[in-house]
Amino acid sequence: MATVTYAKASRIYPGTERPAVNALDLEIGDGEFLVLVGPSGCGKSTSLRMLAGLEDVDQGSIYIDDRDVTHLPPKARDIAMVFQNYALYPHMTVYENMAFALKLRKTSKSEIDRRVKEAAGLLQLEEYLSRKPKALSGGQRQRVAMGRAIVREPQVFLMDEPLSNLDAKLRVQTRTQIASLQAKLGVTTVYVTHDQVEAMTMGHRVAVLLDGELQQVDTPRALYDTPANVFVAGFMGSPAMNIKTVSLTEQGAEFAEMHVPLTREQVAAARAEGGDGTVTVGFRPEDCDLVSPSEGGMPVVVELVEDLGSDANVYGHAALGGNSERFVVRTDRRHMPNMGDTVFVKPRAGRSHVFHAKTGSRI
């Protein structure tokens, strides 16, 4: 087992001014499952590859335990990586694919056999050991790639979008297997994905990146309940949080005919640091109610209703400051409106998120 530390680690590709990863400071605990998440091009895969030794670290350092691995070759780092495209040898059987790295290390035949069969048991691959990759499904191939990493008994597992080639149902099933397997093995794991639902359901902690900068690292629940800035608020959660920049009044944040109350401290913070009389307010679709017109809600014209079985997502638009702004609300399917209806939306008391309009930071 091992800890992993990024100490102001940066990667700057030749010919570019902006670092792909900029002074990343991140500590990953012994046995922790940490997920790196963010949109395409945010630096998450580069961060993983820096830890693997597949990308140079131009500034700063990376440590595994107390050992500085910044300039060590990949084979000297005691890590195992699972790639997006499986990277299996097509001419070898499942057994031979899983045993290959151990053979290169000149591990004894009996030890190889023990480790391969143990990993196959964990991954329910026993009946496939004599097959070649072309005779396996995508999910089975991904499990073989996992098995190949497990038999090496590394200090750290690295996984780069390992589920992105699987269909939706298999992705859900396999992410459950990976999370339970990691808990069983207790190996420190760094997992990259662009899928925030995957991040929320798998990680002990989640690190959110944007443009090479670490935005926030915390438990999935803390990221969801107290996002540090507008980007994290909008990125975590599906459907995304309703986030709008509106006028600041004595009554609070003004949404058409509705006012979202703010504390005195929030109003003062919104006006500080160059505040211009506006404030950014967010509320999640599930933290809203459809109310009667007399209850002071915001009028929203319904454009689309998604019936999800247990509940429904209602999409619509409202007139805010002369613009048509989109909103989404989750509601009980027994009270679903129809397309073209006007509904009145009101966030629940104490469930709004408030951010500075200029800096985007939580207030």
β partners of residue 248 = 253
pLDDT at 87: 85
Q: 173-196 in b/e burial notation, b at 16+ Cβ within 10 A? A: ebbebbbebbeebebbbbbbbbbb
- Specify the pairing of strand 342-347 against strand 298-307: antiparallel
Give the model confidence (pLDDT) of 211-248 as tens digits.
999 999 999 999 999 999 999 999 999 899 999 999 99
What contacts 95, CB < 8 A, 6 or more positions away? Answer: 116, 120, 129, 130
Q: Out of 3.40.50.460, 3.40.50.300, 3.40.640.10, 3.40.80.10, select the CATH number for domain 4-234.
A: 3.40.50.300
Omega into 239 within 30° of 0, i.e. cis?
yes
Q: Per 3-state DSSP, what percentage of the chain is helix, strand, and coil (rounded to 5)?
A: 30, 35, 35
pLDDT at 335: 82
Q: Indicate whether 299 pLDDT > 80.
A: yes
Give the model confidence (pLDDT) of 302-354 as tens digits.
999 999 988 999 999 999 988 899 999 999 988 899 999 999 999 999 999 99
Cα distances (Å, whole numbers) of residue 79 to 3, 28, 206, 357, 358:
12, 14, 20, 43, 42
H, E, C per residue of 216-233: EEECHHHHHHCCCEHHHH
Contact assessment for residue 300 and residue 308, using Cβ atoms and an 8 Å cutoff: no
Give the model confidence (pLDDT) of 92-150 as tens digits.
999 999 999 999 999 999 999 999 999 999 999 999 999 999 999 988 999 999 999 99
What is the spatial distance between Cα 23 and Cα 308, in angstroms, rounded to a whole number? 42
β partners of residue 206 = 35, 218
Annotated domain spans of the chain = 4-234, 241-355
Q: Out of 2.40.50.140, 3.40.50.1860, 1.20.1090.10, 1.10.1200.10, select the CATH number for domain 241-355.
A: 2.40.50.140
Give the model confidence (pLDDT) of 37-67 as tens digits.
999 999 999 999 999 999 999 999 999 999 9
